[in-house]
Amino acid sequence: MSHITLAHGNGGHFMRQLIEEVFAAQLSNPVLDANADAATLPAMTGELMMSVDGFTVKPLEFPGGNIGSLAIHGTVNDLAVSGAIPRYLSLSAIIEEGLELATLERIIHAMAEAARAAGVQIACGDTKVVPRGEGSGVFLTTTGVGVRDKNLQLGLNNIKNTDRILVSGPVGDHGTAIMLAREQFGLSGDVHSDADSVLPLCQALHNLTGLRFMRDPTRGGLATVLHEIHDVTGLGIRVRQTHIPIQDPVNAVCEILGYDPLYLACEGRVVAVVAEEQAEEALSRWHALETGRQAHIIGHMTADLSRVVLETELGGERILEELEDDPLPRIC
């Protein structure tokens, strides 16, 4: 069979074959047992953290990745920015009848590669098939368990006045790449998704005592992370447009279509809030990494403001409002 049928989800022969030949063949590791209802996890020392993400990106494949690699990076990154080392993931796949088997194989292959690179293992999985027209190719959900770095106490509540805000690289690449991959705008370009594990970026800052908080700016982009920081801390934020790294093709596409790249998703960047006196140290650690070469200090927390304010290129000021309408659904 070259396409997924309902029989691939019924618990019987074809489902077992699919699980063995596609999922287990690619994702196999000592913890995963395709015959068991649950996996026994090897002992982990330290406090455990848990995170979950659902993935519905459309198209399933895009420059720089596919929904499979994204499903690893998304959950790995949620744990990484929370100060944990990701270890084991669960995987749920909800597949639409008619999906090409070769597409599914590429997705699971990319997932296996991303898992290896991030040092995580798929501990258990589940597959369901829904009738044609009641799904969308494939939806994935991953839940990750990791060990918290015991020296870290990260959280929005740690953020103080004058703290610096850093971003690890150009923003909006992922959202723009997905948009271009949809071809509905009649545009094409060579923007690649930034989707990647941010674990090295996060670990580089782990022993900085002035590290307050990290987050990966996915849905809603950088602007939405800044709003969350503002909402919880009650502090104002001032960022400078010229300090926010954005790639030229991203800017160009956004200008044509009227999008603001500050609201577009990244899947491989980190926003970090660091004490003023350690901001330069944090920046130089990021600059030393391949994925952090374009990192910038983009602004700071300030009790003098009650909004998120962007200093524009020309010296003006613009208030970054909270996202209301969805500029770009299904980017993750």
Between residues 77 and 291, which has the closer beta carbon with respect to a copy of itself?
A: 77
The answer to whether 50 contacts a copy of itself (rule: CB under 8 A) is yes
Tell me the two tokens of residue 144: 């990750």
Minimum distance from residue 156 beta carbon to a copy of itself (Å): 6
Does position 251 bind a copy of itself by CB under 8 A? no
Residue 17 Cβ, how far from a copy of itself at the closest point, in Å? 11
For position 23 contacting a copy of itself by CB under 8 A, the verdict is no
Cβ distance 59 to 181 under 8 Å? yes
- Shortest distance, CB of residue 242 to a copy of itself, whole angstroms? 25
When asked if residue 324 is in the footprint of a copy of itself (CB under 8 A), the reply is yes
Site residues for a copy of itself, 71-110, by CB under 8 A, read: 78-79, 81-82, 84, 88, 90-94
Report if residue 159 touches a copy of itself, rule: CB under 8 A.
Answer: no
Q: Which residues pair with 126 in a beta bridge?
A: 92
Does residue 255 interact with a copy of itself by CB under 8 A?
Answer: no
Q: Does 132 bind a copy of itself (CB under 8 A)?
A: no
Is 198 one of the binding residues for a copy of itself (CB under 8 A)?
no
The span from the CA of 79 to the CA of 202, in Å, is 10
The yes or no reply on residue 37 touching a copy of itself (CB under 8 A) is yes
Neighbours of 183 (CB within 10 A): 10
Taking the complex as a whole, the smallest distance from the CB of residue 219 to a copy of itself amounts, in Å, to 3
Segment 168 to 187, residues that bind a copy of itself, using CB under 8 A: none
Q: Phi, psi (5° rounding) for residue 15? A: -65, -45
Does 34 help bind a copy of itself (rule: CB under 8 A)? no
Distance CA 77, CA 197 (A): 6
* Contact predicate 279/297, CB 8 Å: yes
Question: CA–CA separation, 164 vs 111, rounded Å?
Answer: 35
DSSP 224-269: HHHHHHHHHH--EEEEEGGGS---HHHHHHHHHHT--GGGS--SS-
